[in-house]
Amino acid sequence: MRARAHVILGVVAVCGVVVCGVIACGNAVGTDACQSIEHARCKWIVQCYADASNYGLPTPRSGQTTTSTPVDDCMRYYDDACMHGMVTNVPPSANDVNACVAAINAATDCTIVLNPETSPACVFLTYDAGLDADGGG
């Protein structure tokens, strides 16, 4: 009986790991769009983030070299961070992403850089973008 219980427990554990892996590594939405937008924001990192130790990044910069700049560090960080995709129900079109990047590049202050979803060009960054009033797609 003990052996059978161990086998059942083992099978349940393996199934649990597989299910968690599928959930955690599902299809990410908009990884390229995320990188394009974040790279545009990274160009403003020195002007818009007061925290000189890591410029507003959630973790200290890693792999910093003497030739590395905060902009390079930021872009390198978001190359990885964006692999999880965007928090949106609707994948953005290339035109949407290009318009959002253009709005960030044309910014005259840090408002859109710090909160791009507040710009009409970047409204698709909100989680519920593209959903109609009844919650359907």
* Residue that has been written with the tokens 């202050």 in this structure: 109
Q: Are 48 and 40 in contact (CB under 8 A)?
A: no
Residues 100-130: tens digit of each pLDDT: 999 999 999 899 998 999 999 998 888 665 5
The rounded distance, in Å, linking the Cα atoms of 14 and 132 is: 40
Tokens of 90: 């609707």
Q: Please report, for the chain, the start and end positions of each structural domain, with discontinuous segments joined by +.
A: 30-125
Residues 18-76: tens digit of each pLDDT: 333 444 455 788 899 999 999 999 999 888 876 656 566 655 555 555 667 778 888 88
| Largest separation between any pair of C-alpha atoms in the chain | 72
**Other CB atoms within 10 Å distance of the CB of residue 117:** 14
pTM for the model: 0.68
